[in-house]
Amino acid sequence: MKYGAFDWLAFWDSLSMNFISLLFLAFAALVVALYYLFPKKIRWTVLLAGSIGFCAVGGWHTVAFPCLMALVAYFAAIVIEGTERKQRKTRRLVLTIGALILIGTLAIIKINGLIKWEAGKFIFPMGISYYTFSLVAYIADVYWGKDKAEKNYFKLLLFALFFPKILQGPIARHKTLGPQLVKGNSFDSKACIAGIQLMIWGYFKKMVIGDRLVMFTSTVFASYDKLGGGILLLNAVLSAFQLYADFSGCIDIARGLSQMLGITLEKNFDRPFSSKSAAELWRRWHITLGAWFKDYVMMPLAISPKLIKFCNTVGKRFGKRTVKALMTIIPTLIVWLLTGIWHGTGINYVLWGVYWAILMIVSSVFAPEIAKLAKLFRIDTTKESWKKFQVVRTFLLFCGGRVISTMPTPAAMGEYFARIFTKPQLWQFFDGTLFAQGLSELEFAISVVLVGLLIAVSCMQAKKSVRETIDGWNVVFRCAIYALALVLIFVFGIYGPSFNASSFAYMNF
């Protein structure tokens, strides 16, 4: 062909590490098929080859970083395990240096991304935040004797690179995931179908709900200084749903795909918006991240003798309660600052961390006072309505956090919150302004229905997994609901050139 000849280089360049493409689905299907076609003993090599192939799409550095990091973790773990327990210093030194290399690289990457370099191209290895944490956890677990060192470097590399989880997590633990990856799972049609079902729901959440809402939220966040408080409040609420749909959608795709391979990835979300307190919210939202910080930062800090000593000396003057409070405040503050920085390096993320830290500290340190207040106002905390209120309050707090992390400067953030109270301009809901923010009336109506669906599914999940519920239905309904979901993605999904290409919200961490 003189015109329209296929250009492999251009094709390769056009690929991207993204779940939202038919090419990815074809790739995933190929990996699954090959996985079960190979003899059990070497099935894991298919996963490794597939993972390297998937990462190679993002550029060679996307492969190089995890390869080197896994090498560090590999040596560190083997040496730690091989050193006798008596040689505490050596073990500790190896742990510290290994962890520092990993975390240091992550820090450099993050800082590098923050600075607007005049020359040079900043390259971001996809998923580095996720596998760095996984590998650090692995070394630490080996150090504590909770996990065994992996003797085959390539098996550890597969753990770091496993392609369903590399983009947006969950932050896996080697102890649970590692053996599953290399085991050579046998084909189970039920698990496979359940995996497909989960993937359908994931794609639905991401493509139909998340990407639709983001058209509204990104417009409003960009022009917050021209809009009334009513719309801004609505936007804060919708942006929470948007983030949930987007992030949990991606996680469900990853989990569904893994389930097809007979691998169980940890749960990352457990109906987060039904939480009654900030602490509970973070046990239900991005569970693996919260757990990581709890296990590898919070706990070591809390039991660190130095901290206890420090708290005792400082708090002595103010009594026992202060000592106890300090023991909570200091680790909490550190953890949340780090969590903020993990999400992004701007000042807004630091503020976001402080925001959550304050919420946590207030609720735990001042628990007695709060209880007294409730008594003073004669609030019956056992009533269902009070629990409902708690849920709504927690959700709104989450929305507030979302605004803080999204607004680029503290001033903008202040302006956003101020507008909600000082300039509600509620008429903007009716004079057409609402429908000029990226979603037309029809699209807005669809979005409202979709958010309703999201909430309804959440409520259903409270009793039983939705997939199990559907499994109990008549076969026709059961088939129809999944077929319908796919048709709805086909029609209402946000894809193609008429919509701007969107990327997963949690992909750049």
**Which residue reads 């949930």 in tokens?**
244
Distance CA 378, CA 370 (A): 12
Sort 133 into a burial class: Cβ within 10 Å, 0-12 / 13-18 / 19+: buried
Q: Which is nearer to another protein, 12 or 389 (CB)?
A: 12
SS3 139: helix
Distance CA 312, CA 273 (A): 38
Query: Which residue in 85, 86, 120, 432 binds another protein (CB under 8 A)?
Result: 120
Tell me which DSSP letter residue 150 carries.
Answer: P
Q: Is 188 in the site for another protein (CB under 8 A)?
A: no
Subset of residues 234 to 263 that bind another protein, contact rule: CB under 8 A = none
Element (H, E) at 436: none
- Among 463, 465, 472, CA closest to 198: 465
Q: Is 178 in the site for another protein (CB under 8 A)?
A: no
Q: Is 82 in the site for another protein (CB under 8 A)?
A: yes
Q: Is 215 in the site for another protein (CB under 8 A)?
A: no
Q: Is 72 in the site for another protein (CB under 8 A)?
A: yes
Distance CA 76, CA 97 (A): 9
| Count of helices and strands (H, E) across the chain | 24, 0
- Among 256, 249, 285, CA closest to 194: 256
From the list 105-113, 164-172, 281-289, 373-381, the region that binds another protein by CB under 8 A is 105-113
Total residues binding another protein (CB under 8 A)? 88
The Cα-based distances of 381 to 364, 384, 387 in angstroms read 17, 8, 7
Query: Which residue in 189, 368, 382, 430 binds another protein (CB under 8 A)?
Result: 189
Q: Is 114 in the site for another protein (CB under 8 A)?
A: no
Q: Which is nearer to another protein, 417 or 492 (CB)?
A: 492
Tell the smallest beta-carbon distance from residue 350 to another protein (Å).
22
The Cβ-side half-sphere exposure at 170, using a 13 Å CA radius, reads 27
Q: Which is nearer to another protein, 101 or 453 (CB)?
A: 101
Distance CA 376, CA 479 (A): 55
Q: Is 479 in the site for another protein (CB under 8 A)?
A: yes
Query: Which residue in 144, 499, 500, 501 binds another protein (CB under 8 A)?
Result: 499
Query: Which residue in 464, 486, 500, 501 binds another protein (CB under 8 A)?
Result: 486
Subset of residues 410 to 469 that bind another protein, contact rule: CB under 8 A = 440, 442-443
**Which residue reads 């040689």 in tokens?**
87
Subset of residues 8 to 67 that bind another protein, contact rule: CB under 8 A = 10-11, 14, 22, 26, 30, 34, 38-42, 45-46, 48-50, 53, 61, 64-65
Q: Which is nearer to another protein, 70 or 251 (CB)?
A: 70
From the list 70-78, 201-209, 264-272, 453-461, the region that binds another protein by CB under 8 A is 70-78
Residue 333's CB is within 10 A of a number of other CB atoms, namely 16
Q: Which is nearer to another protein, 155 or 343 (CB)?
A: 155
